[in-house]
Structures are given as C-alpha cells and as structure tokens.
Copies of this chain bind each other. A is one copy, B any other.
Amino acid sequence: MMRDLSHDRSLLSINSITVKPWSFEQLVEGCARAGLSAISPWRDILLACGIERAGKLVRAHGMTVTGLCRGGMFPATDAAGRRAALDDNRRAVDEAAAIGAQCLILVVGGLPTGSRDLGGARRQVHDTLAELLPYARQAGIPLAIEPLHPMYAADRACVNTLAQANDLCDQLGDGVGVAIDTYHVWWDPDLARQIARAGRRILAYHVNDWLVPTTDLLLDRGMMGDGVIDLRAVRAMVEAAGYRGHCEVEILSAGNWWKRDPDEVLRICIERHQNVV
C-alpha cells in the first residue's frame, strides 16, 4: 500500500541545490514559509552559515535534516590524497552530527587524475569506507552510499549501480546504507530486484526527472513530471522495500530552475510532490 502524498507536505524534503541561489538561512526560512519541515543542505552553504548557527536555525524551526550532501570523493593518486579524503569525510561526519542530519550522503568519487584503473578506484572506495566507518558509527551518523549514473563513472562516482552499493553494504555491515536517486537509477534493468534487496538499508530517496533531450551531463535535471521517469513506480518499489522516509527533491538545473525565484520553485516542488511523485 503506497502512502498517499496528495495533500502531504510533511514528507517533502528540499535539497539545497534545488534552490541554489539561497543561503542556508534563506533555505530554512523559505522552507518554513512554504509549510515545509525538512531540508538537506550541501556543505558549502552550511559552512558559509557556520555550523553552530546552522544547528540553532534547524532546531529553532523544528526542521528535519534528511541528509548532509556530501562526503565521499575517496579515490586518490597517493596515500596523502587518501588521508586527506578520509580527514575531510570525518569532518563531514562531525558536521552531519552537529545539525542532526539523518545520514551523510556519499558521492564516492571517480578515477584519480591520470588513472584508467576503474577497478582500483572501486577497491579504494571500499577500503576508505571501511576506514571511515568506525568514526561514523561512533558519531551515530549512517553513511548513505549513492550510486551515481554511469555517465559520472570517470569524474564523480565509480559506484554506478544499486547492485554495487548493496554489495558494499553487505561487505561493510552496520552503519552503511544506500541513497536512491531516481535520476541515477531509473534506467537500471535490475532496479526492482536491487531496491527490494536494499530493503531497510534505504537511507534516503531523491526525486527529480530525466529530460528528453538532456542538454548537459550535470546541470540539466528535470522537475518531477517534466521527464520520462515513472516516478510513481519507483516510489512503489522503495516503499514496498520498507522505506518510510522523506522524498527529497534534488535538481541541478543551470538553465531553468536555478534561474527562477526559489519561492516559486518550492511551490512547484510541493505541487509535483503531491501529484507526480
């Protein structure tokens, strides 16, 4: 039985990149103004606001923080690079804890500069995750591995299917789960099976759409309903797997949504959340 979202605002979370012109303060206040109670910030606006002040704002407005975007970027050319990545991820865990985020979203990173060793990059992701995990468990911050679309394998994430993310969860144990983003996984012929397999390990669910045509590999995501993803079908799978959390809108759109008034963007997110997601 799918949840009825047709009058819902409580299960909608806004990822800060969707309303890119806004600062952290504006995000919290804008969402509150729109009757929303959940956000997922990127680290840049969080750090620009200041962690302590951001935590106070979150608590003052009773906001749920469905995730912090993002840790990851693990593969590196040498040991110093891997240590730097690990240090940065520990800081991200601390930041997630400070604002009470439900998880830390991981974009795991692609090939180190000059490398063609995709298998090696994937092994580095496993190994650095294993090293980070005790720290995250200690802090009580679940790590959400987000498989990214295969078109990002070289430069953003070498975990490109939910099957891979599930394998990593099996290998690493407690404290690790997955973030499922419709944009990244909608094409996967193995999707239904892998969502069922993920089950209770689904820590976050991100919604948006795949536009036809797509004019840019990174910055041309669509608003839910404007593309070809069968969003209702994917949510049905995710909920059948046991997920009861928020639907988080994450749209990178340099040519369209980033140019609009963020208050208008929120209004449309709410409308689509209720009618399309």
Which residues from chain A sit less than 8 Å from chain B, CB to CB? 111, 115-118, 122, 149-151, 153-155, 160-161, 163-164, 186-190, 210, 212-215, 217, 227-230
Contact = CB atoms under 8 A, between A and B. Distances in A.
Contacts of A186: 118, 153
B189 A154 contact: no
Contacts of A163: 189-190
A153 B163 CA distance: 18
A149 B152 CA distance: 12
Given A111-B228, A164-B189, A214 B118 contact: no
Given A150-B149, A151-B214, A217-B214, A229 B189 contact: no
Contacts of A116: 228-230
A217 B212 CA distance: 11
Contacts of A230: 116-118
A118 B187 contact: yes
The CB with the most chain B CB atoms within 10 A, among A149, A154, A210, is that of A154
Contacts of A164: 189
Contact of A213 (B111, B150, B155, B227): B155
A153 B150 CA distance: 12
A178 B36 CA distance: 50
A151 B185 CA distance: 11
A51 to B, nearest CB: 32
A210 B154 contact: yes
A23 B164 CA distance: 44
Nearest to A160: B187
A70 B189 CA distance: 23
Contacts of A153: 186-187
Contacts of A227: 154
Nearest to A210: B154
Contacts of A187: 118, 150, 153-154, 160
Contact of A161 (B118, B155, B189, B228): B189
